[in-house]
Structure 1
Amino acid sequence: MNTLDKTNEEQIREFTQKWLQAVHVKDLDAVMACYAEDVVAYDLFCTAKVTGREPYRKNFEMWFQCCETGPANYEIVELDIVASDAVAFARALNRMTGPNPERKVEESWIRVTVGFQKTGGEWKVVHEHVSVPLDMETQKGLFQSMP
């Protein structure tokens, strides 16, 4: 089945798997190829808003440095997609695992919302929002908050 025979939702699921595989092997160029030049991202790292693929690349560099030993252990647990012929929206609950400074494996949960746009027959991420629940009393992110 070629891309033209697949539904838009199937194309987004395939696109998401390609992104996930690139993350697992920390292939920064392959990850960044998934994003539009003018992507807008609200990420966990640094500034509240990142505009542009090259500035957003720095966030992925920081993340991959946090996973220095082995692959980035990242799993998309829930993925919901709504897609038309030109735009798509996905929301996901994702799980990350890896060693903490004491070398004990920790589990973190994050929420991700992604906006896609199809231009010239090719999907690109144009918006991404990554977040964790917030403890209102301590003002700290609840990375271990289970779904």
Structure 2
Amino acid sequence: MKADKKTEAEIRAVLERMAEAYENKDVDAVMSCYAPDPDVVSIGTGKDEKYIGPEQLRRAYERDFTQSESVAMTFDWLSVSTAAAGNVAWLASDITIHVQVSGKHLTLSGRLTGVVENRGGNWLLVQGHFSLPAAEQPEGQSFPEQ
């Protein structure tokens, strides 16, 4: 079911806090948005970007920050749904990432899906999946053209 406005605002605040920490390259602040569980999962856009547990996730963000001169993320559209119990929610979002790598500025249009859990009044990411739409797939087509 669709999350109520209060829940959606709380989850949006977590994502905005994560985006600010990402832009500031503050790995500790980014990690504070995730559950500290050994089975927390994040999947990125690269073939090697599957991270399980806080240590792998921390190394992933450190890699992002090391490989970029600057980076920023915005959440352009957000949909949040909750379970009947109300302490678990899932989200889908369009994101835009602005990054400077080797002196070149890139703008990446992507997506984030995730699961968050409310623990002691704080929403924390327990699963996240970042993706980039296939550039070679025309609108209206189900598969990329070769």
Under a length normalisation based on structure 2, what TM-score does the superposition of the two structures give? 0.77
Is the aligned partner of 1:51 residue 2:52? yes
Give the secondary structure class of the aligned counterpart of 2:45.
Answer: coil
Q: 1:20 to 1:100 in 2, by over 3 A?
A: closer
Can you list the C-alpha shifts for 1:68-93, whole angstroms capped at 9, x where unaligned?
A: 2x4x2222111222235201111111
The residue that corresponds to 1:93 in the other structure is: 94
Percent sequence identity is: 29
Letter in 1 for 2:73: Y
Can you list the C-alpha shifts for 1:27-69, whole angstroms capped at 9, x where unaligned?
A: 100101111123112212453532111111111111112222x
Moved more, 50-59 or 38-47: 38-47
The residue that corresponds to 1:142 in the other structure is: none
User: What is the distance in 1 between the residues matched to 2:48 and 2:101?
Assistant: 24
What RMSD over aligned residues (CA atoms) do the two structures have, in Å?
Answer: 2.1
The residue that corresponds to 1:81 in the other structure is: 80
Is the aligned partner of 1:21 residue 2:20? yes
Under a length normalisation based on structure 1, what TM-score does the superposition of the two structures give? 0.76
Q: How many residues align?
A: 130
